[in-house]
A and B are shown apart, each in its own frame.
Chain A
């Protein structure tokens, strides 16, 4: 069922100009999902497989790297590490599909900057020459939600839904980096995007509005100012609870960490109760597409998903 082979061909320094016809995208797993949040990976793989998006994989990708900390400390290092990943895709001859907002921003913005700024591209390629790589500037980077929304489309998704998620009230949590900076991400409105709400409704669920829809989850501050980071997540949980939603749906492992892994910490710290399960959109998609819950790793969620499953099944 799942693609178990990881095809990793060593091609030396040859440049592949012809795209691989058997695959749609090269999968970029990132760091956090495959290690800490494998349930996100399961749902992504299963949903893309059902929707017939063919993914090639490689062990050659390193950390994207992080668009907040690494970029701030040294932009050229950030660009070079990102460009190295783009070179891996270039050699294989496929565009990239990412599962995480952070990886999406880093790789898309790196490809954008290196396309626009020739001097920067030269600087980066000089550094890449130390690992025998040269970025030619033509890799396209997509987020899984982008592929689902723009290529598969909500009509197609609705048509293959087997278990409409009736009576489910969902709070759509976009996160920041999937839409901002808008001139680079070019994916829906940066202050009031609609695509995730529509993707949720395509499954038969209701996407409930809430205050401060695009408020940052606070995850980038986790290593730097834990208290402030948790306070930001708490503010979001307050707005989500007030909206009457049954659950939160995310697009990013950082937001998912704040709302799933850290919800109990926030509850203890502020002496509150939320009981709001947080799901990655592909998990909700899998449920609607008829995948059995036992196959989706829900037991790995810290905030139990059972109330949601009871509602929809």
Chain B
């Protein structure tokens, strides 16, 4: 449980919830803190800011609380919360968007940076080494090309805003 209770009045920032409200199934104000999401979450036991608390933080616009805590990155995106929410809120999708917002402020986890870079360079996220090629040949599987997608993935990545965050 999060024992960082603020000792002064919270400054409520409504703009955070507004970022989700237009997406169907992502209105944070529908949450009435039933805790079903946290109860079903397979990684909640390692979190210090549980899914239902993350939802409350979004309702109250407490981005600092979310930024100061790694818990959102422990979400494995299994969607159990999404399926169980009695208000039909896609909790996992809200957490996913928060991961992106946090990454844009604090920096992208290196695993994800590497993923983007490999997609840009080769079109894949798993390398096609010579050992892999040999094994495929031995197994009678068709050969794969070095890069896939004709380098178009790189052009797409360069066109979106994510490029500035990968190179940081």
Q: Interface residues, chain A, CB within 8 Å of chain B? A: 1-6, 31-32, 34-36, 38-39, 41-42, 45, 57, 59-63, 65-77, 80-81, 84-85, 88, 127-128, 130-131, 133, 176-177, 180-182, 190-191, 214-216, 218-221, 223-225, 228-229, 232, 235, 297, 300
Contacts and interface: CB of A to CB of B under 8 A. Distances in A.
A31 B125 contact: yes
Nearest to B111: A223
A192 B128 CA distance: 37
A62 B139 CA distance: 23
Which residue, B76, B136, B153, has most C-beta atoms of chain A within 10 A?
B76
20 contacts: A35-B144, A36-B126, A62-B119, A62-B149, A65-B115, A72-B103, A73-B103, A73-B108, A73-B165, A74-B161, A75-B96, A76-B161, A80-B160, A127-B160, A176-B80, A181-B83, A191-B83, A214-B80, A215-B42, A223-B114
A4 B142 contact: yes
B43 interface: yes
Contact of A182 (B83, B112, B162): B83
A176 B119 contact: no
Interface in B114-142: 114-116, 119, 123-129, 132, 135-136, 139-142
B73 interface: yes
Nearest to A37: B126
A34 B74 contact: no
B17 interface: no
A3 B142 contact: yes
**B: contact size bracket:** 35 or more
Contact of B74 (A31, A71, A76, A228): A228
A72 B79 contact: no
Given A62-B152, A74-B161, A69 B112 contact: yes
Given A35-B127, A180-B82, A77 B152 contact: no
A116 B119 CA distance: 27
Given A31-B126, A36-B126, A216-B76, A69 B82 contact: no
B153 A38 contact: no
A131 B83 contact: no
Given A60-B149, A68-B76, A70-B115, A130 B139 contact: no
Which residue, A2, A65, A190, A220, has most C-beta atoms of chain B within 10 A?
A65
Contact of A131 (B80, B136, B155): B155
Contacts of B161: 74, 76
B160 A76 contact: yes
Nearest to A228: B46
A180 B153 contact: no
Given A63-B125, A180-B79, A219-B76, 17 more contacts: A2-B141, A35-B144, A39-B139, A42-B140, A59-B145, A63-B119, A63-B123, A67-B77, A71-B96, A72-B96, A73-B116, A74-B160, A176-B76, A180-B80, A191-B83, A218-B76, A221-B43
A47 B40 CA distance: 36
Contact of B136 (A34, A182, A219): A34
Contacts of A65: 115, 119, 125
A61 B148 contact: yes
A224 B140 contact: no
B156 A38 contact: no
A117 to B, nearest CB: 9
A133 B112 CA distance: 26
Contact of B148 (A59, A66, A176, A300): A59
